[in-house]
Amino acid sequence: MTIKLKNVWYRYPGSRNWVLKGISIGFSREEACAVVGPNASGKTTMLKIVSLLYKSTRGEVEAWNTKYWDLPPSKALMLRRRVVYV
């Protein structure tokens, strides 16, 4: 399984400020990945998008070559179980 973020933008409802601006990155099943950056730089927000907890404001997020919000419930559940962050 590969998870791809393509030109992802996110801002919290009611906010005028973008938390994520044009993020494009891919994660492969075979790898562990560290996301590092300063406080309030969007790390947790990006991981919540990857975990299907947030929906990106703009851009596309895919797993199994399917847009996230088109995934069947069984695949979405599998994805949530496999994405781990602390």
1 or 73: which leads in pLDDT = 73
pLDDT at residue 86 in the model: 76
16-29 pLDDT, tens per residue?
A: 999 999 999 998 88
Burial of 86 (0-12, 13-18, 19+ CB in 10 A): exposed
pLDDT at residue 47 in the model: 92
Tokens matching residue 52: 């299907």
Domain 2-82 has CATH 3.40.50.970: no
pLDDT at residue 46 in the model: 95
**Maximum CA extent, the chain:** 38
11-58 pLDDT, tens per residue?
A: 999 999 999 999 999 988 888 888 999 998 999 999 999 999 999 999
Domain ranges of the chain: 2-82
What string of DSSP letters covers 2-70? EEEEEEEEE--TT--S-SEEEEEEEEETT-------STTSSHHHHHHHHTTSS--SEEEEEETTEEGGG
